[in-house]
Amino acid sequence: MNLEHFLKSGAPGWMGDKGLDADIVLSTRIRLARNLDGYRFPLSFTDHEAIQVDEIVTDAMHQISNKEHNFSHFTIKDMPLLQRQVLVEKHLISPLLSKKEKSASVLISNDETISVMINEEDHLRIQCLAPGLQLIETYALANKLDSQLEKHLPYAYNEAFGYLTSCPTNVGTGLRASVMMHLPALTMSKQIKVVTQMLARLGMVVRGIYGEGSENLGNIYQISNQVTLGKSEEEIIDDLQSVVVQIIQNERGAREALLKNSRIALEDRFNRSLGTLKYARIMTSEEAAACLSNVRLGVDLNIIKEVPLNVLNECMILIQPGFVQQYAGTTLQASERDVFRAKLLREKLNAKTQKLMEEGEERYDV
Instruction: Answer yes or no whether residue 39 interacts with another protein by CB under 8 A.
Output: yes
User: Which contacts qualify for 88-97: CB closer than 8 Å, 24 or more apart?
Assistant: 88/322, 89/317, 89/320, 89/321, 89/322, 89/323, 90/6, 90/12, 90/317, 91/12, 91/14, 91/29, 91/129, 92/6, 92/12, 93/117, 94/120, 94/125, 95/211, 96/120, 96/121, 97/125
Q: In the β-sheet with 204-208, what is the strand arrangement from edge to edge?
A: 71-75, 105-109, 114-118, 124-131, 25-34, 175-182, 220-225, 204-208
Q: How far is the CB of 298 from another protein (least distance, A)?
A: 19
Dihedral over alpha carbons 61, 64, 69, 74 (to 10 degrees): 20
DSSP symbols for 12-23: -TT--S-STTTT
Which of residues 13, 16, 131, 172 is near another protein by CB under 8 A? 172
Q: Does residue number 197 form part of the binding site for another protein (CB under 8 A)? A: no
Q: How far apart are CA 32 and CA 43, in angstroms?
A: 18
Q: By CB under 8 A, is residue 136 in contact with another protein?
A: yes
- Asked if 121 interacts with another protein (CB under 8 A), we say yes
Shortest reach from residue 340's CB to another protein, in Å = 30
Q: How far is the CB of 64 from another protein (least distance, A)?
A: 14
Number of residues forming the site for another protein (CB under 8 A): 50
Asked if 340 touches another protein (CB under 8 A), the answer is no
43 binds another protein, rule: CB under 8 A? yes
**CB of 20 or CB of 265, closer to another protein:** 20
* Closest alpha carbon to 267 in 321, 223, 304: 304
Return phi, psi of residue 365, to 5°: -95, 10
> Is 28 known to sit in a ligand binding site?
yes
Among 27, 35, 83, 187, binds another protein (CB under 8 A): 35
Q: How far is the CB of 39 from another protein (least distance, A)?
A: 7
CB of 129 to another protein, least distance (A): 18
Cα 258 to Cα 186: distance, rounded to the nearest angstrom = 10
Residue 131 in contact with another protein, rule: CB under 8 A:
no
Q: Find the largest Cα–Cα distance for the chain.
A: 65
DSSP string, 158-191: ETTTEE--SSTTTTBT-EEEEEEEE-HHHHHTT-
Nearer to another protein, 147 or 353 (CB): 147
Q: At what angle do helices 285-300 and 309-318 cross, to 10 degrees?
A: 170
Q: Is 212 within any annotated ligand binding site?
A: yes
Chosen residue from 129, 156, 254, 349 binding another protein by CB under 8 A: 156
Known binder of ligand: residue 19?
no
Ligand-binding site membership of 180 (annotated): yes
Q: Which residues from 175-194 bind another protein, rule CB under 8 A?
A: 175
Tell whether 73 is in a known binding site.
no
Distance CA 123, CA 36 (A): 7
User: Cβ 237 to another protein, closest distance in Å?
Assistant: 9
Answer yes or no whether residue 198 interacts with another protein by CB under 8 A: no
Does 311 count as an annotated binding residue?
Answer: no
Q: How far is the CB of 152 from another protein (least distance, A)?
A: 11
Please, what is the angle between helix 285-300 and helix 334-364, to 10°? 40
The span of 80-88, 159-167, 318-326, 352-360 binding another protein (CB under 8 A) equals 159-167
Closest separation in Å from C-beta 287 to another protein = 20
Q: Which of residues 228-247 bind another protein (CB under 8 A)?
A: 228-234, 238, 241, 245
Residue 281 annotated in ligand binding: no
Interface residue list for another protein (CB under 8 A) = 20-21, 35, 37-41, 43-45, 121, 136, 140, 143-144, 146-147, 150, 155-164, 166-169, 171-173, 175, 203, 226-234, 238, 241, 245
